[in-house]
Every structure is written in structure tokens, then in C-alpha cells.
Amino acid sequence: MKIKKNDKVIIIAGKDKGKSGLVSLAIPKKDMVVVTGLNLRKKHQKPRKGGEKGQIIDKAMPIHISNVMVSDPDTKKAVRVGKKLVGERFVRISRRSGKEI
């Protein structure tokens, strides 16, 4: 999976198309990511203690990685991710600019 936690991503499909945010959780087994503040759903929460009221909260739900792309740090546009050998290890690069992500 080429998208990792704390990557700045742009959503390219769905109701939040064109919006960007940070990845707060990556789920590699399901090929999904959670982007903070995007793909929100209403969750009805029951009261936990006696006398407390129930409430409706907004919760960020997972989105498939095919619907997000990494944002280029320079141009702020969606780019594909490649890898390049630097020294003895691989680093992720932007395919558009060739710079390290």
C-alpha cells in the first residue's frame, strides 16, 4: 500500500471529491484509509451514564485507497507515487516532480 499515516491526500471520487486532508489511519488488510474530517457519517450514540443524554456525532469512516491520491508537496496536485533507491533503502517519490514525499 503506497499511502501511509500522516500523508496529505486528495479525494478523487465520491461525495467529498476534490477535498484534501491528512490520513489518520491506514488499514492495509482492507485497502482503506481514514481521512480526518472527510467521509463523515452521523452516529447515534446512546447515553453512557444515568441522567446523560444521547447524542449524534460525526464520525470519519474509511474510504478505499483507489478513491484517494497523494498530494504533491510542491504543486498541491494529486500525483502517483513511485519509489527510488537512495543509499541502501527505497524512498517514496512523486512521479510528477520526482521529489521525495
CB atoms near residue 65 (< 10 Å): 19
Grid cell listed for 3: 499511502
Amino acid at 20: S
Q: Where are the domains of the chain?
A: 8-72
Spatial separation of the C-alpha atoms in residues 101 and 96, rounded to whole Å: 11
Q: Is domain 8-72 annotated with CATH 2.30.30.30?
A: yes
The count of C-alpha atoms lying within 13 angstroms of the C-alpha of 68, restricted to the half-sphere facing its C-beta, is: 28
Is the pTM above the cut of 0.85? Answer: no
Q: Which pLDDT value is given to residue 50?
A: 83
* Residues 59-71 pLDDT 10s: 999 999 999 999 9
Q: Does residue 67 sit in helix, strand or coil? A: helix
Q: Which pLDDT value is given to residue 81?
A: 92
Grid cell listed for 41: 457519517
